[in-house]
């Protein structure tokens, strides 16, 4: 079956504009995660969903960042009033079972965001 | 809270030589440990993971890792590397209290001809 897909693959935007990043998880995966990968910084956890709810939003770097998930499937990460420091690769991952520890995460190819 | 330290940001090694990528973690409870690999221009994929049982875990592409509870380490090893192993390797940790997985900053493996 299809893996995790993300769109767009690349996004260039001007400072101050809003952007939406989309993630389509593997069908049937109930857990969905967003990470930010900056050069030399590894993977920074942003938020995860169990179904449509997000129990932990503590990783979001500021109130300009928000995310939602509808129908237990597609998720959208929105960055409002983008800043140059938001430039990074945004990765989405999904896993099969909610709350079961040790589950393997399956990653999408990422969205490379560049804020000019 | 858990944390992961990958001390080496880059590791150069000659082809067919052995390699060890170091990972240390910090947690007050039992943990699950992972190594993920990111090949150039590709997404992350699981290399191997430790959940319980045998402390020596074998993964794909000839890699293995050993869980050492006393040293809070989960170092990744391969006895003979190939040019195709050029990638960035991420160590990660989670535990039963939380669905989050915490990743290290990654180690870039450079294979020298």
Other C-beta atoms lying within 10 Å of the C-beta of residue B38: 20
| Both structure tokens of B34 | 């992972």
Residue B84 main-chain phi, psi, to 5 deg: -70, -10
* Sequence-separated (6 or more) residues with CB below 8 Å from residue B90: A42, A43, B6, B35, B36, B37, B38, B44, B103, B104, B106, B107
Which of B36, B92, B95 faces A101 most closely, judged by CB atoms?
B95
**CATH code of residue B78:** 2.60.40.10
pLDDT tens-digit map of A17-71 = 999 999 999 999 999 999 999 877 788 999 999 888 888 888 899 999 999 998 8
Q: What is the pLDDT of residue A112?
A: 95
Q: Does domain A5-99+107-111 have CATH number 3.40.50.720?
A: no
| Tally of residues, chain B | 113
At B101, is the pLDDT very low, low, confident or very high (cuts 50, 70, 90)?
confident
A105 shares contact with chain B (CB less than 8 Å):
yes
Domain positions in chain A are 5-99+107-111
Mean pLDDT score across all residues of chain A: 91
Full residue range of the structural domain in which residue B56 is found: 3-112
Q: For chain B, how many structural domains are there in total?
A: 1
| Both structure tokens of B13 | 């090694």
């Amino acid at each position: 079956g299809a893996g995790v897909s993300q769109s767009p693959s690349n996004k260039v935007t001007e400072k101050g504009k809003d952007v939406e990043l989309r993630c389509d998880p593997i069908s049937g995966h109930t857990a969905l995660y967003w990470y930010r990968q900056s050069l030399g910084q590894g993977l920074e956890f942003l938020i995860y969903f169990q179904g449509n709810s997000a129990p932990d939003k503590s990783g979001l770097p500021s109130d300009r960042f928000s995310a939602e998930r509808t129908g237990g499937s597609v998720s959208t990460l929105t960055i409002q009033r983008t800043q140059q420091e938001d430039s990074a690769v945004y990765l989405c991952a999904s896993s099969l079972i909610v709350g079961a520890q040790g589950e393997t995460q399956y990653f999408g190819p990422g969205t490379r965001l560049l804020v000019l | 809270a858990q944390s992961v330290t990958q001390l080496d940001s880059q590791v150069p090694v000659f082809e067919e030589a052995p390699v060890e990528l170091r990972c240390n973690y910090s947690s007050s409870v039992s943990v699950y440990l992972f190594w993920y690999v990111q090949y150039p221009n590709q997404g992350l994929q699981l290399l191997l993971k430790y959940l319980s049982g045998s402390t020596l875990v074998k993964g794909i592409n000839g890699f293995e890792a050993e869980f050492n509870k006393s040293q809070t380490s989960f170092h990744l090893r391969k006895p003979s590397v190939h040019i195709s192993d050029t990638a960035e390797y991420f160590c990660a940790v989670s535990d039963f209290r939380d669905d989050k997985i915490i990743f290290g900053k990654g180690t870039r493996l450079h294979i020298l001809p």
